[in-house]
Structure 1
Amino acid sequence: MDNMQNVDELFKPGFAAALIKLDPKDGEQIVDYVRTQALLIREKQLLQASVRDQKKLLVENGKLKKDIEQLRTQLQDKQRRRTAKALLSPAPPPPPLRPAHTSPVTPPAGDMAAPPPTLHDRRERRDRRRTGERKGRPTRDSLSIGAEPRVDVSRLDLRVGRILSIRRHPLAEVLTVQEVEAGETAPRTVVSKPGGETQLEEGSLVVLLCNIKARKVRGVVSQARLLCCSAHDGRRELLAPPTGSSPGDRITFLNYPGKPDRELQSRNRIWKILQPDLQVDSRGVANYKGRGFEVRGKGLCRAPSLTNAVIE
């Protein structure tokens, strides 16, 4: 810019007139030429300054985009954590209904009398009343950071099923496809992998986990899971419902009166959390934390011959 100021000084009216006077013939052409060159130099300098400003703006825009992406990622992570905590909170049991003034009903002779609630159970009910879980919606404590969601066996929809048909999987020799009646309008398709002592027979009763998410297994959609037990030596057997059970009978657990989820979400991993506490005891009875798999009024589910086995 200092050079441009010097050029402007040279072409003041007095200097141009003096130059024309010295060279009347070519003076005006020389003045026009020098002015043209000066204008070109000025435009070039302005263009260079504009390019520098543009580059600076591009760098600043890049930094702003990077900051925006980081903020967006942090926001999405927080939203995912909140959603996961809300989904992991189990559905609370319905509030107890006050019975009308009627005569007491004598339970059937086959039913086992429920033991009185323990101190732990009374404390748990008292805590539920304080935190408002009976209202049917998650509390602040269940959504707070570090809150432990309630997960127990009542969230599993376990029913008695009857195998209607068995066929080989069309794409895998080790898999079988069963049509199982579960007390619904249509049977459920179940893909399983029998092994060990597992015997699949048409007409036999089985224990069925019904609220797992349907998924494709080598091209065939499986809508439920057959529960079996497995011993340490590799022997496996299907769990057997009590005699007299019918397809669709619910399997319940004493002291766990909650309602099952409509569908177990895979991201919640409820089945994997509960599975270590699902076992067959030394008497061959299937249980969860010591509470048997019970079909109300008909008896307990058992393993045909195994004891001290895990349920899977």
Structure 2
Amino acid sequence: MLRRTATTVGSACKNYGLNFKKFAKNRRTMADLQQIASNNERAEALINSIEAEISGLQQQLVARQKQELIKENAALAKEVEAALAQLVQLELRNGKKQIPVPGSRGFCTSAAPVVPTAPAAAEAPKAAAKEPKEKKVKEKKPAAEKPAAAAPEAPVDVGRLDLRVGRIVEVGRHPDADSLYLEKIDCGEAAPRTVVSGLVKFVPLEEMQNRLVVVMCNLKPAKMRGVTSEAMVMCASTPEKVEVLSPPAGAVPGDLVHCEGYPRQPDAQLNPKKKIFEACAPDLMTNADLVACYKGAALHVPGKGNVVAQTLKNVNVK
């Protein structure tokens, strides 16, 4: 009996010890979870605080940039007004009449008349009666300055023609004209020029492909059978035969063609009404050595050689 009771008490004590350990372990786990939750709350509060600080800094930066832009715009506006005032003064000095614009800010060149108040209007006749001579002096208008003389026009010669070396990079028949070639010519520019040439009867298609040519680039673009031609291929020509002029060996697209004794100063675009090319054309010819010339002076690419025909001597170039 005593032995059984001792066994029972021992078993109970053992179970109590195990339960106490489990309780202690669970208590530690709860404490850890509470610590984690507390840490999370503090981290979230810290993140919110940082976000608020960043938002405040961003607002301050935007406000500062806005103020700097306002100051910069005000300074630019003053510079623009000063430049406009200077422009008006220069135009007045050159005799150019200024027209007031309604709603403009100080851009009128003549000041608006001042309407006198009642006392001033009453005193005005008395002042006029006392000083008639002085009034006459004031009424005299300053003599208008003579307008600046226009720059003299350059002489009409081959220097006004924009002659350059080009390479035909693409050629074919014009779709609507049997006698015309449609070409793409690289003249050393960003994109090839479209050129229409009436050479089908004189030059075989295979001789046109990938060859160097001399091109006049400042003709006014003109439509030829629905295609806008942007330049002209220069040729030695007779009624029976036409030869495309050849640049010197070593020339490349974009090389400029010069003529000795005639400074190269080409018009941006030839005015058809002034007929500058038509005036030069009679003096553009090949010589006995097949060299293309203007009034006997050779057309050449500096440092590379002369522009020549193949067989045609002493004929017109056009």
Normalised by the length of structure 2, the TM-score is 0.51
CA contact (8 A) 1:196 1:235 kept: no
Give the equivalent residue in structure 2 for 1:237: 243
* Counterpart check, 1:210 vs 2:223: no
2:194 pairs with one of 189, 192, 204: 189
- State how far apart, in whole Å, the 2-side matches of 1:258 and 1:183 are: 18
SS at match of 1:172: coil
Amino acid at match of 2:215: L
Structure 1 contact 196–237 (Cα < 8 Å) conserved: no
Determine the structure 1 residue equivalent to 2:78.
none
Structure 1 partner of 2:303: 297
* Higher RCO (Cα < 8 Å, 6 or more apart): 1
Give the C-alpha shift of residue 197 in structure 1.
Answer: 4.1
Q: CA deviation at 1:136?
A: 9.8
SS at match of 1:243: coil
- Does 1:164 pair with 2:177? no
The Cα shift of 1:185 comes to: 0.3
SS across alignment from 1:274:
helix
The C-alpha deviation readout for 1:257-294, integer Å capped at 9, x for no partner, is 14100000111111111000000011100000111111
Query: Percentage identity across aligned positions?
Result: 41
Residue 22 of structure 1 corresponds to none
What is the aligned partner in structure 1 of residue 139 from structure 2? none
Residue-pair matches, total: 169
SS of structure 1 residue aligned to 2:196:
strand
Q: Partner of 2:289: helix, strand, or coil?
A: coil
Distance 2:280 2:149 in 1: 23
**Equivalent residue for 2:151?**
138
Runs of 4+ in 1 over 3 A off after TM superposition: none
Cα drift, residue 201 of structure 1 = 2.2
Matched with 2:258 is 252
- C-alpha distance in 1, partners of 2:149/2:158? 19
The one-letter amino acid of 1:183's match is G
After TM superposition, the structure 1 = structure 2 runs for residues 16-95 of structure 1, keeping only pairs within 5 Å, are none
The one-letter code of the counterpart of 2:225 is: R
What corresponds to 2:155 in structure 1?
150
* Shift, 1:198, TM fit: 2.7
CA distance in 2, matches of 1:238, 1:282: 17
* Aligned counterpart for 1:223 among listed residues 188, 209, 230: 230
2:3 maps to none
Partner of 2:291: 285
Aligned to 2:271: 265
Separation in 2, partners of 1:279, 1:136:
37
SS in 2 for 1:306: coil
Q: Secondary structure at the match of 1:279?
A: strand
Paired amino acid for 1:159: R
Aligned to 2:281: 275
Residue identity in the other structure for 1:163? I
* TM-score with structure 1 setting the length: 0.52
Q: Which residue of 2 aligns with 1:48?
A: none
CA change 1:172–1:136 in 2 (3 A) is farther
The Cα shift of 1:168 comes to 1.1
> Amino acid of the residue matched to residue 234 of structure 1?
E
More helix by share: 2
Question: What secondary structure sits across from 1:173 in the alignment?
Answer: coil
Bigger Rg, which one: 2
Contact 2:173 2:182 in 1 (8 A): yes
What corresponds to 1:5 in structure 2? Answer: none
